[in-house]
């Protein structure tokens, strides 16, 4: 009797209890198990056997589909190789450049590029790419130092100087506009999930550093602070261009409209922001800005008080508490926190939300379950989002 086969069968039996029927998820379950094995000869044999099992069990999994395409491409490319590193690397480059534009082919091209770099480290193009990568890392260190300097300028009250430096940094770190590709950046892993769910993008996605988004957001906030509202909006819109699901950027744009007393524009922007608010922190800002908009557009002072209360974190010296105090003084509204029944009635009558977007909870839980086997740390972040928004105690065991 082959004891190795018996062991594989038992492992597979245990793994199959975690399967959902989704090929990508189930393959990730197998991969996660393999990562837990101790480094030894027996583990290597198990990994090889499980790899063979998985390739036969999940042929439609994206990783295998891409791997098969790459493997077949390499077989064809090697027929054109002549042994000269520069020639052979160019063969690979020409093949990649001729691929039709799609996200799948982007992954194929990335894999083929890695293959060429490993196979021909002495090729001029490979050495050039390596040098460029090292230079990019050095440049990134310099940029981080300059960003730290900007923070010191802000602390010192040198806002004009900080604005000038942020403009320079943005000019030096531009990404080209491309009708065939969509450049996007994310400040949190969940924002990529939101992007896929909310933005119906048909072009291939190219993920970039969130540096431009971050610098644009900070520049916009500083410009607003100095009263340069039109320039501030332009800067924030640049941040949203690169990350349309950034709650921070979308809320900051609404805030600038409020500062300009453009309450209708602020309301429209808040409507755009609500579906992507994935934390209580963002909801607090949303409710506070909505309280100001409701006060000034609809003159619905009781509803304005509801939203001010919903945004309260601390009653001591908070803008929301100051707003409540002013509404009490100017319009005689009840300063006490409204009951749940009152909150529901007033918000329902206005067709406005009184809590988190329930679709985000479903999205976070679904994504967490998908990533649980392959990326448990990311899955915990997604479960934490769902717990924060719902308070569902059953999710706590997934976070700990």
Residue 3 confidence (pLDDT): 43
Quick one: which H or E segment has residue 206? strand 205-207
225's tokens? 């602070």
Element (H, E) at 182: strand 182-184
pLDDT, residue 110, reads 83
Q: What is the mean pLDDT of residues 191-217?
A: 88
**pLDDT of 248 higher than 90:** yes
The answer to whether residue 88 scores a pLDDT higher than 90 is yes
Q: Say what the pLDDT of residue 62 is.
A: 79
Segment 65-71 long-range contacts (CB within 8 Å, at least 24 positions apart): 65/104, 66/104, 66/107, 66/108, 66/111, 67/111, 69/104, 69/108, 70/108, 70/111, 70/112, 70/115
Structure tokens at 304: 């304005």
- Asked whether residue 116 carries a pLDDT value surpassing 60, the answer given is yes
- pLDDT (mean) for 76-90: 93
Q: What pLDDT score does 385 carry?
A: 96
pLDDT band at 274 (very low <50, low <70, confident <90, very high): very high
The partner residues of 42 in beta bridges, in order of sequence, read none
Q: Is the pLDDT of residue 64 over 90?
A: no
**pLDDT score, position 2:** 44
Of residues 8 and 83, the one with the higher pLDDT is 83
Structure confidence at residue 141 (pLDDT): 85
* Residue 7 scores a pLDDT above 50: yes
Q: Which domains are present in the chain?
A: 3-119 (no CATH), 155-276 (1.25.40.10), 358-399 (no CATH)
Q: Strand, coil or helix: what is 207?
A: strand
User: Could you read off the pLDDT of 297-324 as tens digits, one per residue?
Assistant: 999 999 999 999 999 864 455 899 999 9
Beta bridge partner(s), residue 29:
none
Cβ(292)–Cβ(304) below 8 Å: yes
DSSP 204: P
pLDDT tens sequence across 161-195:
999 999 999 998 877 677 788 889 999 999 999 99
309 C-beta neighbours (distance < 10 Å), count: 20
Ramachandran bin of 340, using left for φ above 0, alpha for ψ from -120 to 50, beta for the remaining angles: alpha
- Measured distance CA(357)–CA(385) in Å, rounded: 12
In angstroms, rounded to a whole number, what is the distance separating the alpha carbons of residues 42 and 7? 11
What string of DSSP letters covers 226-260? TT-HHHHHHHHHHHHHH-TT-HHHHHHHHHHHHHT
CA 289, 291, 293, 296 torsion: positive or negative?
negative
Token pair recorded at residue 4:
């190795």
Q: How far apart are CA 61 and CA 29, in angstroms?
A: 12
Structure tokens belonging to residue 395? 């999710």
* Cα distance between residue 279 and residue 389, in whole Å: 7
Lowest mean pLDDT among 110-114, 260-264, 373-377: 373-377
335 neighbors 329 (Cβ within 8 angstroms): no
Residues 6 or more apart whose CB falls under 8 angstroms from that of 362 comprise none
> Model confidence at 255, in pLDDT bands (50, 70, 90)?
very high
Name the H helices within 58-123: 62-77, 85-98, 103-119
Query: 152 or 26, which is more confident?
Result: 152
Tally Cβ neighbours within 10 Å of residue 242: 22
Across the range 64-81, mean pLDDT stands at 89
Q: Residue 175 has what pLDDT?
A: 73
Whole-number pLDDT of residue 43 = 76
pLDDT tops 80 at residue 229: yes
Which residue's structure tokens are 């957001």?
A: 217
Q: How far apart are CA 66 and CA 107, in angstroms?
A: 7
Chain Cα centroid distance, residue 354: 25
Give the Cα separation of 9 and 256 in Å (integer): 62
Structure tokens at 370: 């998908």
In angstroms, the CA 162 to CA 165 distance is 5
- Percentage above 70 pLDDT, the chain: 96
Q: Which of 262, 284, 282 is nearest to 273 (CA)?
A: 282
> What angle do helix axes 103-119 and 62-77 make, rounded to 10 degrees?
50
Asked if pLDDT for residue 398 goes beyond 90, the answer is no
Residue with tokens 């410009």: 223
């Amino acid at each position: 009797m082959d004891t190795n086969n018996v062991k594989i069968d038992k492992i597979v039996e245990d793994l199959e209890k975690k399967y959902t029927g989704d090929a990508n998820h189930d393959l990730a379950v197998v991969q996660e198990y393999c990562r837990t094995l101790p480094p030894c000869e027996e583990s290597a044999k198990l990994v090889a056997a499980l790899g063979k099992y998985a390739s036969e069990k999940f042929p439609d999994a994206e990783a295998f589909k891409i791997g098969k395409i790459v493997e077949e491409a390499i077989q064809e490319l090697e027929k054109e190789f002549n042994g000269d590193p520069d020639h052979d690397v160019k063969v690979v480059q020409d093949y990649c450049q001729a691929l039709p534009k799609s996200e799948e082919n982007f992954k194929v091209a990335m894999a083929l590029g890695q293959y060429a770099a490993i196979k021909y480290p002495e090729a001029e193009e490979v050495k050039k790419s390596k040098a460029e990568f090292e230079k990019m890392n050095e440049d990134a260190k310099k940029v981080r130092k300059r960003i730290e300097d900007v923070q010191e300028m802000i602390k010192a009250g040198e806002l004009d100087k900080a604005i000038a430096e942020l403009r320079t940094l943005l000019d030096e770190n531009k990404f080209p506009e491309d009708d065939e590709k969509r450049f996007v950046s994310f400040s949190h892993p969940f924002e990529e999930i939101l992007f896929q769910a909310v933005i119906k993008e048909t072009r291939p996605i190219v993920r970039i550093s969130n540096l431009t988004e971050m610098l644009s957001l900070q520049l916009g906030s500083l410009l607003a602070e100095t009263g340069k509202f039109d320039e501030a909006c332009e800067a924030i819109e640049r941040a949203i261009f690169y990350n349309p699901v950034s709650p921070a950027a979308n809320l900051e744009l609404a805030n600038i409209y409020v500062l300009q007393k453009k309450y209708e524009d602020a309301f429209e922007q808040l409507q755009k922001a609500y579906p992507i608010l994935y934390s209580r922190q963002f909801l607090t800002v949303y409710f506070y800005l909505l309280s100001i908009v409701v006060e000034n557009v609809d003159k619905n002072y009781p509803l304005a008080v509801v939203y001010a209360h919903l945004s309260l974190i601390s009653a001591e010296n908070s803008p929301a508490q100051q707003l409540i105090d002013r509404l009490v003084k100017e319009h005689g509204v009840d300063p006490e926190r409204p009951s749940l029944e009152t909150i529901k009635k007033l918000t329902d009558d206005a067709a406005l939300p009184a809590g988190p977007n329930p679709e985000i909870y479903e999205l976070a839980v679904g994504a967490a379950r998908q990533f649980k086997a392959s990326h448990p740390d990311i899955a915990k972040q997604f479960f934490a989002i769902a717990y924060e928004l719902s308070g569902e105690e059953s999710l706590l065991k997934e976070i700990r």
